[in-house]
Amino acid sequence: MKKRILITGAAGFIGSNLVRSLLKDGRYWVIGFDNFDPFYPRAEKEKNISPFEGDRNFRFYEGDIRHRADLDALDDIDVIVHLAAKAGVRPSIKDPILYQEVNVGGTQNLLEFARRRDIKQFVFASSSSVYGINENVPWSEDDKLMPISPYASSKLSCEMLGHVYSHLYGIRFLALRFFTVYGPGQRPDLAIHKFFKSIINDQPIPVFGDGSTSRDYTYVEDTVKGIEAAISYESSDFEIINLGNHRTITLQDLITSIEASCGKKAVIDRQPEQPGDVPQTYANIHKAQKLLKYHPSTDLKMGLDNFYSWYLKAQDL
Ligand code: NAD
């Protein structure tokens, strides 16, 4: 029997890459759900899902995870992959209540939906930001959590809610902590997308701090493989799993790599460090390797080149 997978946030960056992968070979029924949140333009999200229109294994619903009636309108479902969220660290400091309402309230609403419908598998998009200012890298799942933004704390709250519903109602809950995901379709607010765009258009790139902050960038196809493995995972009822790349790179080195990829020099607009931004992220991925057979295989050069090709095509350049 083909599983029916609900993907919330299906029109977003990671969601649309996941839909593409799940529809390959017709292995699943895929139900996409998204409210086209105005964080970035609706047109970009519509473009993300337009290739799936007409696929007989795909249905799309426009709706809000905060609204019970929107969820009750959905088809039968076996597995929920919950990616919908207000994303972004810095904007969460400006509007913390909204982040709480969408991320925490919306996730609880979806868990209640799972309980009502007797859906027994729930995969949740958590974030490396929950580790916050923990200096002991690489981070393992049982390390100390020191979040420093409303966004990060909202993700941590959702992990705990997942534990409650797993314990009380036997819903298998897998929280996957993503580490700065990049690749075709990447959100326009994120560094790699912003940097390519500005360099190509001869505009200065804003660099926060002295360039020594570092990130464990993960290519979206690798993240998607980890999510797919979590969809089929059945060995335990509650797990928190890092999906990083286990390779960290400084902001300065990232800029140098982007310059090499697009063959142009960046003009740097140096800005002060931003509140809520963590100095580093770096994943220990032993648990993902063991439980999900997760082996990220895309190196930064190849990933940046793929992003660049996608960007030129998407902009019709
Ligand atoms: P994205 O913004 O491209 O996708 C999120 C989607 O959720 C959007 O299409 C948006 O319209 C939808 N959405 C927002 N609020 C909604 C609501 N109330 N109801 C229904 N849909 C709603 O972001 P992304 O980068 O694809 O991230 C996907 C998930 O992964 C998010 O939960 C994010 O917090 C998490 N995450 C992403 C990264 C990353 O580097 N991209 C890192 C860690 C965690």
- Given a contact cutoff of 8 angstroms between Cβ atoms, the answer to whether 92 and 133 are in contact is no
Task: Respond yes or no: is residue 151 known to be catalytic.
Answer: yes
pLDDT digits (tens, 9 = 90+) for 211-222: 999 999 999 999
Q: Please tell me the distance between residue 265's alpha carbon and the centre of ligand 1 in angstroms.
A: 31
* pLDDT for position 213: 96
Among residues 151, 182, 219, 311, which one is catalytic?
A: 151
User: Quick one: pLDDT band at residue 210, thresholds 50, 70, 90?
Assistant: very high
* pLDDT for position 316: 83
* pLDDT for position 80: 99
Q: Please tell me the distance between residue 83's alpha carbon and the centre of ligand 1 in angstroms.
A: 5
* pLDDT for position 217: 98
| Mean pLDDT over each residue of the chain, to the nearest integer | 97
pLDDT digits (tens, 9 = 90+) for 251-302: 999 999 999 999 999 999 999 999 999 999 999 999 999 999 999 999 999 9
Query: Which atom of ligand 1 lies closest to the CA of 39?
Result: 2
* pLDDT for position 207: 95
* pLDDT for position 169: 98
* pLDDT for position 75: 87
Pocket test for ligand 1, best of 21, 37, 161 (most atoms within 8 A of CB): 37
Q: Please tell me the distance between residue 102's alpha carbon and the centre of ligand 1 in angstroms.
A: 11
Query: Which atom of ligand 1 lies closest to the CA of 87?
Result: 34
Instruction: Go through the domains of the chain in sequence order and give each one's CATH number.
Output: 3-316 (3.40.50.720)
- In SS3 terms, the chain reads as CCEEEEEECCCCHHHHHHHHHHHHHHCEEEEEEECCCCCCCHHHHHHHHHHHCCCCCEEEEECCCCCHHHHHCCCCCCEEEECCCCCCHHHHHHCHHHHHHHHHHHHHHHHHHHHHHCCCEEEEEEEHHHHECCCCCCECCCCCCECCCHHHHHHHHHHHHHHHHHHHHCCEEEEEEECCEECCCCCCCCHHHHHHHHHHCCCCEEEECCCCCEECCEEHHHHHHHHHHHHHCCCCCEEEEEECCCCCEEHHHHHHHHHHHHCCCCCEEEECCCCCCCCECCECCHHHHHHHCCCCCCCHHHHHHHHHHHHHHHCCC
Q: Please tell me the distance between residue 21's alpha carbon and the centre of ligand 1 in angstroms.
A: 17
Please check the confidence at residue 55 and state whether its pLDDT lies above 90: yes
Based on the number of CB atoms within 10 Å of its own CB, is 232 exposed (0-12), middle (13-18) or buried (19 or more)?
A: exposed
Query: Which atom of ligand 1 lies closest to the CA of 82?
Result: 32
Please check the confidence at residue 317 and state whether its pLDDT lies above 90: no
Please check the confidence at residue 93 and state whether its pLDDT lies above 90: yes
pLDDT digits (tens, 9 = 90+) for 225-250: 999 999 999 999 999 999 999 999 99
- List pocket residues of ligand 1, CB cut-off 6 Å: 8-9, 11-15, 34-37, 39, 45, 64-66, 83-87, 102, 106, 125, 127, 178, 180-181, 187
Q: Please tell me the distance between residue 264's alpha carbon and the centre of ligand 1 in angstroms.
A: 31
pLDDT digits (tens, 9 = 90+) for 123-136: 999 999 999 999 99
